[in-house]
Amino acid sequence: MDIFAKGQFIQRTENVHINITLANTDYTVYTAPSGDDFNFSVIISFLVCEHQGQQTSIDVTNTHGATTYNLFNGKVISANSTTDLIVNPLIIHGGEIIKVQGNHAGNLDIHMSIIEYAKGD
């Protein structure tokens, strides 16, 4: 779809917060809305904070239909630090699912800032 072919409108903005409490378990962080009103979302910030003094590695995936794609695999988050995983905005289409998994329990906080776009005229 050519996003410049017709008008696009910001439908809403979202801030998503989640704590990774179990090791080696997929956590759904965000599911892009789908349907008649939405057609894509833009992740503009993806902060990961390690807050218990233990270096941790994380995996981040994007599920599109029946296919899962790796965005980050074994990304190291240093002890007592915050890392922004997104260097440039990431566009995801309606229905796509972002999941995170850490290799230690209870030490990661995730914060994402997202703009959701609706179909225009």
For 59-77, the pLDDT digits (tens) are 999 999 999 999 999 999 9
| Backbone region of residue 71 per phi and psi (left: phi > 0; alpha: psi in -120 to 50; beta: other values) | alpha
Domain-embedded: residue 62: yes
Domain enclosing residue 81, as ranges: 8-119
pLDDT value of residue 5:
46
pLDDT value of residue 58:
95
Q: Give the helix/strand (H/E) hosting 41.
A: strand 38-50
CATH of the domain at 109: 2.60.120.1330
Domain count, the chain: 1
Domain-embedded: residue 64: yes
pLDDT value of residue 51:
93
| Tokens encoding 25 | 């378990």
Domain-embedded: residue 3: no
**Low-confidence spans in the chain with pLDDT less than 50:** 1, 3, 5-6
Q: What is the largest CA-CA distance in the chain?
A: 51
CB under 8 Å to 25, separation ≥6 — which residues? 101
